[in-house]
Structure 1
Amino acid sequence: MNKEEADENDFFKDMLIRDFCKSDLHDLLDVARLSFAPEFELTGFDVDRIKKLVNQAFGPIGRIFLGFSKIFGKERFKFFVAEVNSRVVGGTMVTKHGRIGYISTVMVHPAYRRKGIARRLMESALNYIHKRNMRRAVLHVVSTNVPAKNLYTKLGFKEFEKITYLVSDTDSLSELENIEGVQVRSFQKDDINAVYSLMKSSEDPKHLEILDFKKDDLKTPLITRVFHLFRESRMVALYHNKVIGYVQATYTTANEAGRIINIQVHPKMRGKGVEELLISSAINEIKKKIGVKKILGTASLKRPELIVAMERLGFKKHFELSGMFLETTCLKNM
């Protein structure tokens, strides 16, 4: 064994992958700032909001809620951290969406990269997904992040989609004229069947399959309502009283960008201004409620008409994400 291999072995002896605890927050916020600086420059990062969420989770109500969720197999998320010499130097989170384990915020402090920490975090996340009997692991990674993509590929992940991120200042959005016969209003509970049918007809079938999309996914999760993880504004577009469009926008505080996360328009109505009308209506709603300055939107590269619509409103492309997945049948040998 050479010196480099011996040093690596000693490093792994000192490294611990474990569950996040409240006292990790200071170190973890430092890692997040260093890991996602370009993204935070666009989206904002409200540290006070994060601290409030952690205090809620570790408070009396949070402990009871999360404790019972775990007991009854309803644990919604799991956060792992990497610790070296009593210092948190990395982390990642798994969020349960039905039978899917979504892996996000894989981060390692720059001073500790290329030492196998990201791989160990990913292996812990994948083992958790496997033990919880989830069907597959899914993640998104910035397309230009070659080291991360290489790691995920080595672990068995395969690409299934590409998404572009677009950003706009809310004050620079273009004004729109109404479309004859089209009405936009707030989403109502009675709309859920129509919106579900719309999603099935308008979204990429591969996307729905990989994410195991179900009608219940259109409902706001209980944990979101309990901890106020975010607020949302949902709108539908009607044409002759039939739902032909849907948009979901989320927001947190005025210090962070609002997000347009789901835009659907019936294939026969695309490219006629419905996309712009929905997006503009949702943005105006959250502007009135929270006063956000920036809006971040996502669009699949398979939806060029949606990208064009967003650019007409004043959005500009910033980076692309690759969606990747791994079936749990591939995890048994890990």
Structure 2
Amino acid sequence: MTEKATSNESKILIMNNRDVDNWLELMTICFKDSLERERLDIDEIRSTMKKINKVSYKIIMRLFRFKILNYLIKNGEKIVSASTLNINKKNGTISNVMTHPDYRRRGLAKKLVQHTLEKAKDFGLEKVSLEVKADNVGAIKLYEKEGFVRNYHSITFELENPSESLSTNINPLSIRKIDQINKELFDNLLDNCYQKRYFETRSREKMAKDYIPSRIMRFIMSKFANQQIFLFGLFNKKTNGPRGYIRAFTSRLEKGISISSPIVDKEDEIHLKSLLADIIKNIDPAKKYLKISFSKHRKNLMDDFLASGFTIIDESLAMHKILNKS
């Protein structure tokens, strides 16, 4: 049933702690399938959202030039549409763009996206990025009309009970925790891991610099979501020479291990699965599932994971818009 519009729908508000439960209710309605598929803990999200709005945390974030703003449209006291702007120095990320099913087709999402972009310009941001489900045609059309350009198509796989499902086979590579990378090797491997258009707005040098997060970023991630980052180097067992890199995450928001695009050469991709078994042992063998995402163009890697019992749980497009050139 479609509900009546009110004059409140012309106002865009900033979220405060009193709105968190209402905001989460909207999230569970709009993103129900995604939340279940990604196994995110709503209670932990609630705790994190309330932390973000505390004065003490706002001061910490301001010191580190990090800011999170949640924009809302209400009908009475009910949140009917929302968006989030995450600011990290000169870059921004738009997320959580959602509208209650009873209030769709009124232009509320468009209004919020335009408002969020205007605020991003006001903050002097140079670029804004976002991710959208690859099958969300309506949202993609909206973002492209607002000037966003596609630059990355990722696919996420999941494996249940990875400690039992993955085996450590004979492997010419080994893994170990690291605190620095060989930047020349890292740069050489990027072309296998990402398509050319990805680098139209991403500095390869900055990617190498940011691959190992600073102590400040680790502190922020740990404080807000108890997120831990684990960095592993891949090494040739015979020569001990570096071959690639894997970055893994754990968080109290979810009960598994997540791995973002493995930085490895094409010829070494065949060894990834057995290396993952070693990584799980290093982090926590009791974790219930493993998620790994990478560019959809890595077809051989996709086929290998599908043949090994992994299932596809998500496909996303990364999009960006340039705002203010420095």
* Fold shared per TM-score above 0.5: yes
Structure 1: 5+ residue stretches without partners: 1-6
How far does residue 230 in structure 1 lie from its aligned partner after superposition? 1.4
Query: 1:47-62 alignment to 2 at 5 Å?
Result: 47-59=42-54, 61-62=56-57
Shift of the alpha carbon at 1:97? 4.8
Whichever residue aligns with residue 74 of structure 2, its letter is E
Deviation at 1:253, TM superposition (A): 3.0
2:290 to 290, 295, 299: 295
Q: Superposed, which structure 2 residues align to 1:1-334 within 5 Å?
A: 11=6, 14-59=9-54, 61-69=56-64, 74-97=65-88, 99-171=90-162, 173-180=165-172, 182-186=173-177, 188-191=178-181, 193=183, 196-197=186-187, 200-204=190-194, 205-212=196-203, 214=206, 215-220=208-213, 221=217, 222-239=219-236, 240-253=239-252, 255-267=254-266, 269-273=267-271, 275-288=272-285, 291-328=286-323
Change (3 A) 1:76 1:305: farther
CA displacement 1:268-319 (0-9 Å, x = unmatched): x33431x22343333333433xx33222221211111221332244211234
- When structure 1 is superposed on structure 2, of 21-30 and 75-84 the one drifting more is 75-84
Cα distance in 2 for partners of 1:323, 1:207 equals 9
Distance 1:329 1:190 in 2: 32
The whole-number CA distance in structure 1 between the counterparts of 2:253 and 2:140 is 33
Question: Counterparts of 1:97 and 1:61 in 2: how far apart (Å)?
Answer: 18
Decide whether the 8 Å contact of 1:91 with 1:107 is kept in 2: yes
Q: How many residues align?
A: 313
State how far apart, in whole Å, the 2-side matches of 1:40 and 1:264 are: 28
What secondary structure sits across from 1:130 in the alignment?
helix
- Gap change, CA 1:254 and 1:301, over 3 Å in 2: closer
Q: Conserved in 2, the CA contact under 8 Å of 1:198 and 1:245?
A: no
1:26-69 residue CA offsets vs partner (Å, 9 max, x unmatched): 11111111111111222112122123223433445314313444
TM-score using structure 2 length: 0.84
Q: TM-score, normalised by structure 1?
A: 0.82
Q: CA RMSD in A?
A: 2.8
Distance in 1 (alpha carbons) for counterparts of 2:58 and 2:314? 38
Distance of 1:219 and 1:76 partners within structure 2: 21
Q: Deviation per CA, 1:58-96, whole angstroms, max 9, x where unpaired?
A: 445314313444xxxx13433222222222222222223
Distance (Å, rounded) in 1 between the aligned partners of 2:258 and 2:310: 12
Output the CA distance in 1 between the equivalents of 2:71 and 2:203.
Answer: 24
Q: Matched residues in 1 for 2:85 and 2:310: separation?
A: 30
Output the amino acid matched with 1:306. L
Cα pair 1:139 1:324 within 8 Å, conserved: yes
Residue type matched to 1:140 in 2?
E
Question: How far is the alpha carbon of 1:112 from its aligned partner?
Answer: 1.6
Assess if the C-alpha contact under 8 Å between 1:135 and 1:327 holds in 2.
yes
Helix, strand or coil at the partner of 2:135: coil
Q: Distance in 1 between matches of 2:188 and 2:30?
A: 37
What is the alpha-carbon distance in structure 2 between the residues aligned to residue 308 and residue 97 of structure 1? 36
Partner of 1:3: none
State how far apart, in whole Å, the 2-side matches of 1:208 and 1:95 are.
22
Counterpart AA for 1:311: L
Q: Note closer, same or farther for the CA distance 1:279–1:145 as it changes in structure 2 (3 Å cut).
A: same
- Counterpart of 2:231, as a letter, is R
**What letter matches 1:210 in structure 2?**
T
SS of 2:222's partner is helix
The answer to whether the 8 Å contact 1:270/1:305 transfers is no
**Contact (CA 8 Å) 2:134, 2:315: kept in 1 or not?**
yes
Which amino acid counterpart does residue 26 of structure 1 have in structure 2?
D
